[in-house]
Amino acid sequence: MDRATAIRKSLAIFVCGIIGFLPVVGFVPAIYALYSWERVRSRYRGQWNPASAYLNGGVVLALVGLLGSLLIAGAAILAFMS
């Protein structure tokens, strides 16, 4: 993977992470951000990525969004069962 592709993918992961930060609506983009993050990290291991801050930020946003979505879904299921 060349450096331009790594930068482009890192920025795409950041955008998906921002969308994934939205509860429920961003579930699929958050999953995609995590999947893409793993692919970029494995293919670009040991090389300098100038957009690594965006890559890591996108993953953090995606994880927080997934956690929020799961908490909302769990609360909705508990409220529905009561």
Q: What is the pLDDT of residues 58-75, one digit of tens each?
A: 999 999 999 999 999 999
Global pTM reads 0.89
Count how many domains the chain has: 1
Identity at 64, one-letter amino acid code: V
Q: Is the pLDDT of residue 29 over 90?
A: yes
Query: What H or E segment, with its residue span, contains residue 25?
Result: none
Which string of b and e fits 33-59 if b means at least 16 CB within 10 Å?
Answer: bbebbeebeeebeeeebebeebbbbbb
Structural domain including 70 reads 3-81
Q: What is the pLDDT of residue 31?
A: 96
